[in-house]
Amino acid sequence: GAVVSQHPSWVICKSGTSVKIECRSLDFQATTMFWYRQFPKQSLMLMATSNEGSKATYEQGVEKDKFLINHASLTLSTLTVTSAHPEDSSFYICSAMKRPGELFFGEGSRLTVL
Amino acid sequence: AQSVTQPDIHITVSEGASLELRCNYSYGATPYLFWYVQSPGQGLQLLLKYFSGDTLVQGIKGFEAEFKRSQSSFNLRKPSVHWSDAAEYFCAVGRGSGGSNYKLTFGKGTLLTVNP
């Protein structure tokens, strides 16, 4: 199957700092990528849709100034958590669309904000 | 809006026993249907998908699922569970033509425990 890679797998940062998470599609081009957040023992919640060459589309309730998304190329989308606080600690997962309706997921990135 | 219901939060089976995980969805048209598996601290792996055609779909690791339109269900089955199948299982429904209008909605997941 297709490969989607996330980096870093885990990161610990101090409150108030910013953290960038990368999502790469390694063997296909993806004009659309998605970012999800998953709290412990819960399901995945869609945060935003990342579109190559244009602005991301955020879900209701997601702060676009807090969670900056950039999709600068057909194989890379980045999520930057700005001025992170402990409540932003979570598991962030990206996915990339290879074909209409078919998504492949990254391994996830665990963020811990102290 | 589409929704996905996985009625069972946690299921425990013995190794070698059969397994069925339930999934019901709510969506006006024929949806794209998926089952994913997630091991602790990992991303999601696609087990199988249904887009159209034969309503019984085969996936990886010996899993299969059957789309029943009349029941709005897409239950996942495996005839004989292995200890390595212990994980969280998510049913998902996709809608949209693809691209930026595509939405994938997940159920809350079913945690599978396998006893030796």
Give per-residue pLDDT as tens, A54-84: 889 999 999 999 999 999 899 999 999 999 9
Cβ contacts of A102 on chain B, cutoff 8 Å? 49
Question: Which positions 22-51 of A are in contact with B (Cβ < 8 Å)?
Answer: 31-32, 34, 42-44, 46, 49, 51
> Count of alpha carbons within 13 Å of A7, Cβ hemisphere only?
5
CA distance B78 to B81: 6
Residue A70's DSSP bridge partners are: A78
Give per-residue pLDDT as tens, A2-53: 799 999 999 999 999 999 999 999 999 998 999 999 988 888 999 999 988 8
Token pair for A69: 């998304």
Identify the DSSP state of A27: S
- CA B24 centroid distance within chain: 10
Closest residue in B to A58 (Cα) is: B100
Neighbouring C-beta atoms of residue B60, cutoff 10 Å: 11
